[in-house]
Amino acid sequence: MKFATVNNNTLDGGLLLVSDNRQQAIDVSHIAPNLWAALQNWTQVEGDLQRLYQQLNTGALSDTMAFDAAICRAPMPRSAQWLDASAFLNHARLMEQAFNTPAIPDFDTIPVVYQGASDNFLGPCEDVPLPSEADGIDFEGEFGVIVDDVPMGVSAQAAADHIRLIVQINDWSLRHFGPREMQTGFGFLLAKPSSSFAPLAVTPDELGDAWTQGRVKLDLCVDWNGDVFGRPNGQEMNYSFPELIAHCARTRRLSAGTIIGSGTVSNRSREAGSACIAERRVLEKIELGEIQTSFMRFGDRVRMEARTVNGDPGPFGVIDQRVVCSE
């Protein structure tokens, strides 16, 4: 199933069920008023939603509407919590060089995850207001999962059964603040403004063979101001999403609606490009001896879309946003 959220003057928006071809949608607020509510009551609402989805795809419903991704909010405009990992070790090792930070102990065997703000997520086409170009404005393309209630101490094998939805994310960063906040040991705050989401949250079956071993086997196609920036594939995740869930739930339960991100998608092959500017900058420093790429300026646009290895559109839709001055 594919879900989207539109504005209805509530904090969590109104829930739409979107057809497989992304052409039609139907309001399902009579089943669940919003996506967060659906996740909290998944076993009760899944059957009704699945039946409607099948009818929507066969054209059997009369009260549908044309689907317009441009008016969508984030699938979950806010959530129980937002936990973001650094599950692509290639990216993490490069960032250690970029910020001249010591290697993280046990990085190869224990996932690294921080808890970010989850009260205000941006929709796929919203302008992104930020205070200053001097803060080092950067995009970060990644994938994520949304879970139902996860018990404390869950195993990675059992954690897979708690993944209800998969999403595509632009986890914005302000690089100027990153080094100091990492050195404090308290985690990110100023360095992490509100994250953005592609319009559709989808059940794992929507990915078909692209959902493999708890990883999203799709190219994350990133364009900056109309130019190709990177096409890294999500299959090189060193820790799977079930492993990340098990790690996050080791000492506490996770409530329904918790979102867990993969961290920046990154591939060892230089031909794949990058999903964030910071990674390109450190590669330039390593390979060319100097940084050539600047961070974003107001008015810049970034476009992200997951695609199959054959170039066909993935299931999440497109993030296409402009950075603007918050003043």
In this structure, are 157 and 97 located in the same domain?
yes
CATH number at residue 160: 3.90.850.10
In this structure, are 35 and 166 located in the same domain?
no
What residues have CB less than 8 Å from 187, skipping those under 6 apart? 114, 115, 181
What's the whole-number mean pLDDT along residues 169-179?
A: 94
Output the CA torsion sign for 98, 99, 102, 106: negative
Residue 42, domain extent? 2-67
In this structure, are 12 and 124 located in the same domain?
no
Tokens of 187: 């985690």
In this structure, are 37 and 98 located in the same domain?
no
What is the DSSP annotation of 227-249?
EEEE--BGGG-SS-HHHHHHHHT
Q: Please, which pLDDT band fits residue 239 given cuts at 50, 70 and 90?
A: very high
The structural domain count of the chain equals 2
Q: Please, which pLDDT band fits residue 309 given cuts at 50, 70 and 90?
A: confident
pTM as predicted? 0.96
Cα distance between residue 285 and residue 187, in whole Å: 26
pLDDT (0 to 100) of residue 98: 65
pLDDT (0 to 100) of residue 27: 97
Cα distance between residue 48 and residue 235, in whole Å: 32
In this structure, are 46 and 87 located in the same domain?
no
**Coil/strand/helix, residue 12:** coil
Q: Are 203 and 1 in contact (CB under 8 A)?
A: yes
